[in-house]
Amino acid sequence: MAKSITVTTEGSPDYRIELRHDFTELPEMLQALGYQSGQKVCIVTETNVAPLYADEVKRLLAAHFNTVIVHTFPAGEEHKNLATVEGLYETLIRHHFDRRDLLVALGGGVTGDLTGFTAATYLRGIDFIQVPTTLLSQVDSSIGGKTGVDFLQYKNMVGAFYQPKLVYMNLSTLKTLPSEQVVSGMGEIIKHGLIKDAAYYRWLTEHRDAIPALRPDVTEEMIYRSCQIKRGVVERDPKEKGERALLNFGHTIGHAVEKLSGFSLTHGACVGLGVIAAAYLSMRMGNLTEEELDGIRRCFSSFGFASHVTGLSVPDVLAATKSDKKMVGNQVKFILLASIGNAYICRDLTDEQIMEGIAYVCR
């Protein structure tokens, strides 16, 4: 059964998140939004996704739009940079795209972030929609208008807040994901329960067998509930001036591990390590019991996450957290749990405390 969620952000028009099980309704939804046959469409995708879905999406859209092109860039976080954006700019200029036209981000978080940043900056703004094909992008990066690219070794350092006109999720694309990408998405999903909804966290633990099997009814319910949590946060704080920072739970240490591993670990796997470290620090602050910390570790383990990583220096990871964009002055803005389902911003952790958390997951 199809589900829809409306997102309303300050200063931006409403857009909808549509959960479907194929691509067939996408052209009609674009027409309903007012896009007409004379407007050009550029499907932006990468080399892993293009062979799976680009032809199908192009065929469906070409029945309603006169000009539909596909721009494909090399897959991988290492290509989420300004050079790749320049290549997309060139394609749009060469095909005479103007402000009335549309970009379609077909792929995972790298594709969505890069396409959104291009849309925000090409001709000072062109419309785009998100068509996320990974679990991680469906529950996280496609929602909320954060766009951006990496600069040198700094993750998401260049970007803009720019809302899509539609988020269209074909949940059947999850069937083609490698298992490690399903695990990666679960990192953000478990995070949602821990920071905002203890009952949802318990639901995830109760369905730990059905979720990896991608049972359609369970998958749809899980994605819907995660999207509702993120929708609520980004509506209340679209520009990350307060509550939205809670979504960074696990990301401070997680991003540092991701960078120092040379992006050899998936984003979700690194978030999982960061969440475990932050949960440990929450326990050390007296907010969680040891049993609750053990439960969080078991939950991640049950979905295929490693509880620690080897080969990284604790001081190096600490130094990497200090080059993160979530710094406030010289202080790391750290997200901790007051209790399961209730997160808060902590600005006064010492370097020694942070290193203790890092050492809990880096051995």
Identify the CA nearest to 104 among candidates 178, 51, 53: 53
Q: What is the pTM of this model?
A: 0.92
**What is the distance between the alpha carbons of residues 104 and 93, in angstroms, rounded to a whole number?**
16
Summarised one tens digit per residue, pLDDT across range 67-111 is: 999 999 999 989 999 999 999 999 999 999 999 999 999 999 999
> Please, which pLDDT band fits residue 294 given cuts at 50, 70 and 90?
very high
Confidence of residue 153 (pLDDT cuts 50, 70, 90): confident
Whole-angstrom Cα distance, residue 265 to residue 257?
Answer: 8
According to DSSP, the residues that pair with 169 across neighbouring strands are 19
Q: Supply the DSSP symbol for 242.
A: S
The pLDDT of residue 322 is above 90? no
Question: What mean pLDDT comes out for the span 334-361?
Answer: 96
Strand 15-20 with 167-170, pairing: parallel
Indicate the pLDDT class of residue 326, thresholds 50, 70 and 90: low
Rounded Cα distance, 117 and 120, in Å = 5
CA dist 154 and 216 (Å) reads 37
Using alpha carbons only, give the angle 343, 147, 40 rounded to the nearest 5 degrees. 145
Segment 5-16 mean pLDDT? 84
Question: Is the pLDDT assigned to residue 327 strictly greater than 80?
Answer: no
